[in-house]
Amino acid sequence: MPVVVTDAIVLHAFDYLESSRILRLATREAGVISVLARGARRPKSRFGGGLDLFTEGVAEIAMRPGRDLQTLAGFDIMRRRSGIGEDLDRFTGCSALAEMALRFAGEETAPALYDTLGAALDAIASAPSSRAAETSLAGAWRVVSDLGFAPALDRCAECHTELDVAGAARFSHSAGGTLCNRCGAAAGRERTLPATARATLLAWLDVDSELPESPLAAADIRAHQRLLREFLHWHVGDGRELRAFAMWEGETLGA
């Protein structure tokens, strides 16, 4: 039985039988994968109680081709990201990102997506609670980009004409981004994306950018969450509700 050694992040976990756990892992070498951690809940488990959500480490996975559930042989922890669980805003944001990866990433090797997800979780874990939603949105759009569905923001999504990023523009989910006046008129009724919102999205998609000094207003955060949810529905959705995403939006609405 071949053993794959790969960097891995715990995205989901639930108890199985009396002493084991089943985990969903994002991995650098094998995409998103389900594994059985035998004896993980025993007091003297070889995993040492280190299989918490969002923990990252080096996983040893015994692979059997054709099986949906593989066997976790070992897990050496590199990052625990304990700050995520200490704050509800951080936790719901990270849960939404994890759900996106679980739902839309496959078993194909995707190192760039893995790195983007890990960097996003690190950023959220260290973000102040007041900026957790913005940090989560930035990470989520970067995950969308690495999935291959980044929205067009500085060019028309239909005719590819360069657009003035200083102005408002129509945004079409079905077209995949902003539209010029001509294409927007032909498309009919579409959402108008203000210039400030476009600038914010462009900054979030730039991996080298940082959050602006002034935080977004709560109404703007909710509008960006709605835009992201609708975009996911159009481009990678499968008709099922994104439950963690809905919880994240609900938590923001209640803030």
As a three-state string, the secondary structure of the chain is CCEEEEEEEEEEEEEECCCEEEEEEEECCCEEEEEEECCCCCCCCCCCCCCCCCCEEEEEEECCCCCCEEEEEEEEEEECCCCCCCCHHHHHHHHHHHHHHHHHCCCCCCHHHHHHHHHHHHHHHHCCHHHHHHHHHHHHHHHHHHCCCCCECCECCCCCCECCCCCCEEEECCCCEEECHHHHHHHCCCEEECHHHHHHHHHHHCCCCCCCCCCCCHHHHHHHHHHHHHHHHHHCCCCCCCHHHHHHHHHHHCC
Q: Residues 230-247: what's their mean pLDDT? A: 88
Which pLDDT belongs to residue 166?
86
46 with 95, same domain? Answer: no
CATH number at residue 235: 1.20.1440.120
145 with 46, same domain? Answer: no
Q: Is residue 179 part of a domain?
A: no
> What's the pLDDT tens digit per position in 171-216?
999 999 999 989 988 877 678 999 999 999 999 999 888 888 889 9
Domain-terminating residue out of 27, 47, 79: 79
Which pLDDT belongs to residue 21?
92
69 with 97, same domain? Answer: no
Which pLDDT belongs to residue 41?
84
Which pLDDT belongs to residue 207?
84
Q: Residues 142-167: what's their mean pLDDT? A: 93
8 with 131, same domain? Answer: no
- In this predicted structure, the answer to whether residue 244 has a pLDDT above a threshold of 80 is yes
200 with 239, same domain? Answer: yes
Domain boundaries, position 95: 88-150+192-253
Q: Residues 20-34: what's their mean pLDDT? A: 94
pTM of the model: 0.92
pLDDT-derived band at 1, boundaries 50, 70, 90: low
Domain count of the fold of the chain = 2
Q: 131 to each of 55, 68, 126, 229, how far by Cα in Å? A: 22, 38, 10, 19
196 with 120, same domain? Answer: yes
Asked whether 131 and 219 are in contact (CB, 8 A), the reply is no
8 with 125, same domain? Answer: no
201 with 145, same domain? Answer: yes
Domain-terminating residue out of 79, 96, 124: 79
